[in-house]
Amino acid sequence: MPKLCRTNCALWIIPSILVLMIGEGNVLHAQKTANVRKARVRLEERLPSEKSDLAGTVAGLKIIGVGANSAAARAGLRSGDVLIAYNNRPIANEEELNTVIGFFEHQFELTARQPTAELAVYLGGEMRVHTVRVLIGRLGIDTREWTLAGAFVQDAVLRLDDYASAEKYVDEAAASGHYTDDQILHMRMLCLNNEKDADSIRQTQVDELFKKYDAEKLRLFASYDLVYYKRFRAGAAVFEKYLKIDPTDISTELTLALSYTGLEKYDEAESLLTKILARPRNAQNAPTEYVRSVVSNIQAKIYLGRAQFDLAQESFKKSLDQYPGDPYYAIAFLYCVARREVAGEKTGSFEAAYKTITERLQGTDKLIGYHFDALRAFVLMKRQSTSAARAAVVKWKDSADAKRYIPLFWRNFPNGAEIVDNWNLLMEEQTFASSIRSRTDSSAPALSPARCRAL
């Protein structure tokens, strides 16, 4: 079954796909090394040219988040890296990693050896094994299960929109015999057509999956593989089909409402939410307090999508009061304040809100502070305070995470591309200013920003 994992503090646990036998770790590693060579021959025949030299293990854990000051962060690991072995023990899922870490922690207690472990990883999408040493113990990472064939499928679907190649990769992986049924199903879920005008194709694919697989498993995998990648059309088709089988499942209704919201089908989403909240308390699928909080969160996203920033701000404020340390609610709340100020509704309110929020979330600045500063710089630019806006972002000019995640994060907000464009402009201006200072210091003629752009 799928899951989202946190190695230092499990948020929730779903049964694992695979199980590791500690005593057989070296044997498994040798088997997987041999098996992947055979599987790779078939898979590489249709790979894009830049992927033609892939080599490595069949399965691992892809890092999707690294905790600040964690063992992984200190070792230089980043989102996108893939962990494939811990002290030469192959890692295919979260349970295996926890078991191996526990084993070596116990070994250290008995022998008092140097408390470090060697990680084998693929760094930054480069499919070549690197080794990294860390202190034995929790790594402080969020992960998703990863497979070699799954990486090919993901690249074909998410980057190239090439469903034909993706399906061939899945078929070849299934024929190789080196992947579990669940791993193959993860890949097939990602192959569900998500194009706007492919309703009949998508529905046929969904119907076929429901004939072959357990409905509950399909529901879980759709949340893991489709909603995670914002493939909301494909996800909605699975959830709609599931609700015909079990119309009382409230978690599927919520996920479907979230998918509708992602598709900007706000009326359909609100209709579902209203239906959930209208149920009497003694009903089998009556909403709990937790469900009501999820409903409130989805409703806030609907308000955002409709540019009803006053209502969205009120909703996020309630969530922030309930969960004062939640960075998403903080950023969403600030975004609504910013949009209202920019529109002339609440002049001067942003700076006060920004100060309150950032003081409350002290300690997160290294992790997500660039999101707050990108938003503040946007508001300052709208006020024609260019120098102050540049000062807000200059400290992030050397941050690889800021450069990578600002474009990804803010485009998920309505008109958030403005924040991204503003950020990029300010970063460019900083580069120009540095160039001017450098040339001036070396007694060379100073260049104007316009001239720098031309060069």
Residues 376-404: tens digit of each pLDDT: 999 999 999 999 999 999 989 888 888 88
* DSSP H helical ranges for 83-131: 94-111
User: Measuring CA to CA, how many Å separate 299 from each of 20, 253, 281, 396, 418?
Assistant: 42, 14, 21, 33, 24
**Residue of higher predicted confidence among 114 and 177:** 177
Q: Where are the domains of the chain?
A: 5-159, 363-455
Confidence of residue 204 (pLDDT cuts 50, 70, 90): very high
Residue 287 has pLDDT above 80, yes or no: yes
Confidence of residue 448 (pLDDT cuts 50, 70, 90): very low
Residue 427, Cβ neighbours under 10 Å: how many?
Answer: 19
Q: Is 355 exposed, middle or buried (0-12, 13-18, 19+ CB in 10 A)?
A: exposed
Total-model pTM? 0.77
Strands 141-147 and 5-6 come out as: antiparallel
- What pLDDT score does 437 carry? 40
The whole-number average pLDDT for the span 235-259 is 97
Residue 450 has pLDDT above 60, yes or no: no
Contacts of 213 by beta carbon, 8 Å cutoff, 6+ apart: 185
**Mean model confidence pLDDT for the chain:** 81
- What pLDDT score does 230 carry? 93
Whether 239 contacts 231, CB under 8 Å: no
User: Measuring CA to CA, how many Å separate 270 from each of 14, 256, 319?
Assistant: 29, 11, 19
- What pLDDT score does 193 carry? 97
**Six-digit token string for 22:** 């500690």
**Six-digit token string for 358:** 């950032």
Whether 50 contacts 127, CB under 8 Å: no
Least confident segment among 5-14, 51-60, 310-319, 420-429? 5-14
In the chain, the amino acid numbered 34 is A
The whole-number average pLDDT for the span 328-339 is 94
User: Measuring CA to CA, how many Å separate 367 from each of 65, 336, 359, 401?
Assistant: 10, 22, 15, 8
Helix, strand, or coil (residue 46): coil
The whole-number average pLDDT for the span 26-41 is 40
Angle between helices 349-360 and 327-342 (to 10 degrees): 170
Residue 259 has pLDDT above 80, yes or no: yes
Q: Radius of gyration over alpha carbons of the chain, in Å? A: 25
Confidence of residue 280 (pLDDT cuts 50, 70, 90): very high
> What is the number of alpha carbons within 13 Å of residue 395 lying toward its C-beta?
13
CATH architecture group of domain 5-159:
Roll (2.30)
Contacts of 427 by beta carbon, 8 Å cutoff, 6+ apart: 393, 397
Render pLDDT for 39-65 as a digit per residue (tens, 0 to 9).
444 444 443 334 333 345 688 999 988
- What pLDDT score does 49 carry? 38
Residue 378, Cβ neighbours under 10 Å: how many?
Answer: 26
Distance CA 37, CA 264 (A): 45
Whether 184 contacts 173, CB under 8 Å: yes
- What pLDDT score does 50 carry? 40
- What pLDDT score does 115 carry? 81
In the chain, the amino acid numbered 49 is S
